[in-house]
Chain A
Amino acid sequence: MDIRSQISMVFHLDKCIGCHTCSVACKNIWTDRKGAEYQWWNNVETKPGTGYPTKWEDQDIYKGGWEKKGNDANGSGNGQATEHVIKLKGAGKAKGLGNIFHNPSLPVIDDYYEPFTYKYLDLIEAKAGDDQPTARPVSLITGKTIDIKSGPNWDDDLSGTPDYARNDPNLENLSPEEREAMFQLEKMAFFYLPRICNHCLNPACVASCPSGALYKRGEDGIVLVNQEVCRGWRMCVTACPYKKTYYNWHTGKSEKCILCFPRIEAGLAPACMHSCVGRIRYLGVILYDADKIEQVASSDEKDLVQNHMDIMLDPNDPEVIAAAKANGVADSTIRSAQASPIYRFVKEWGMALPLHSEFRTLPMLFYVPPLLPVMASLGKANKSQLDKMGPVTKQWSDDWLYDTSTEEIFATIDQARFPLEYMASLFSAGDTEMIKLRIKKLMAVRIYRRFKTVGDISEQKATEALADVGLTAKMADDIYYLTSLAKFDDRFVIPAAHREEAIEMMEFTGDNKGSAGFGFKGGTAQRGL
Chain B
Amino acid sequence: MNSLNYFFLVMFPYISIAVFLIGTIYRYNQSGYKVTSLSAQFLEGKQGFWGTVPFHWGILMLFVGHMIAFLFPKAVLAWNADPTRLIIHEGLGFMFAVAVLVGLGMLILRRLTNARLKVVTSRMDLFVEFVLLAQVILGCWIALGYRWGSSWFASDLSPYLWSLIKLNPQADAVIAMPLVIRAHIVCAFSIFLIFPFTRLVHLLVAPLHYILRPYQVVIWYWDRKRIRRASTAWSDARPQNN
Contact = CB atoms under 8 A, between A and B. Distances in A.
Interface of A: 88, 92-93, 96-97, 100-104, 106-109, 141-144, 202-203, 206-207, 209-212, 214-219, 227-228, 231-234, 247, 249-250, 252-253, 293, 327-330, 504-505, 507-508, 510, 523, 525
Interface centre among B44, B115, B216 (most CB of A within 10 A): B216
A142 B57 CA distance: 31
24 contacts: A100-B206, A101-B56, A101-B57, A102-B41, A102-B52, A108-B42, A109-B43, A141-B116, A142-B115, A142-B118, A142-B119, A212-B217, A216-B218, A217-B218, A218-B221, A231-B36, A232-B39, A233-B39, A233-B207, A234-B41, A249-B42, A328-B223, A328-B225, A508-B238
Interface in B119-142: 119-120
Contacts of B206: 100
Interface stretch (B8-16, B80-88, B229-237): B229-237
Q: Is the interface of A mostly helix, strand, loop or mixed?
A: loop
B215 A207 contact: yes
Contacts of B48: 102
Contact of B207 (A101, A107, A143, A211): A211
A206 B214 CA distance: 10
Nearest to B213: A212
Contacts of A508: 238
B100 to A, nearest CB: 12
Given A101-B56, A106-B41, A250-B120, A328 B216 contact: no
B219 A231 contact: no
A206 B235 contact: no
B167 interface: no
Contacts of A93: 210-211
Contacts of A231: 35-36, 202, 205, 207
Contacts of A232: 36-39
Given A108-B44, A142-B116, A209-B210, 5 more contacts: A97-B211, A109-B42, A216-B216, A219-B221, A231-B202
A511 to B, nearest CB: 8
Contacts, number: 136
Nearest to A294: B216
B32 interface: yes
B161 to A, nearest CB: 28
Nearest to B32: A228
Interface centre among A97, A207, A210, A327 (most CB of B within 10 A): A210
B30 to A, nearest CB: 13
A144 B115 contact: yes
A215 B218 contact: yes
B147 interface: no
Contacts of B241: 218
A212 B37 CA distance: 17
Interface residues of B, number: 54
Given A97-B207, A141-B43, A249 B120 contact: yes
Interface centre among B38, B41, B42, B44 (most CB of A within 10 A): B42
A233 B227 CA distance: 36
B216 A202 contact: yes
B53 interface: yes
B63 interface: no
A328 B224 contact: yes
A203 B216 contact: yes
Nearest to A221: B218
Nearest to A213: B217
Contacts of B166: none
A523 B213 CA distance: 38
A142 B234 CA distance: 57
B112 to A, nearest CB: 14
A210 B42 contact: no
Contacts of B49: 102, 104
Given A102-B52, A102-B53, A108 B213 contact: no
A236 to B, nearest CB: 12
Interface centre among B49, B118, B210, B222 (most CB of A within 10 A): B210
A510 B230 CA distance: 11
Contacts of A252: 36-39
B41 A103 contact: yes
B123 to A, nearest CB: 17
Nearest to A87: B215
Contacts of B223: 328
Nearest to B56: A101
Contacts of A216: 216-219
Interface string B182-222: 00000000000000000000100111111101011111111
Contacts of A329: 224
A327 B36 CA distance: 39
A253 B217 CA distance: 18
A330 B228 CA distance: 11
Nearest to B227: A504
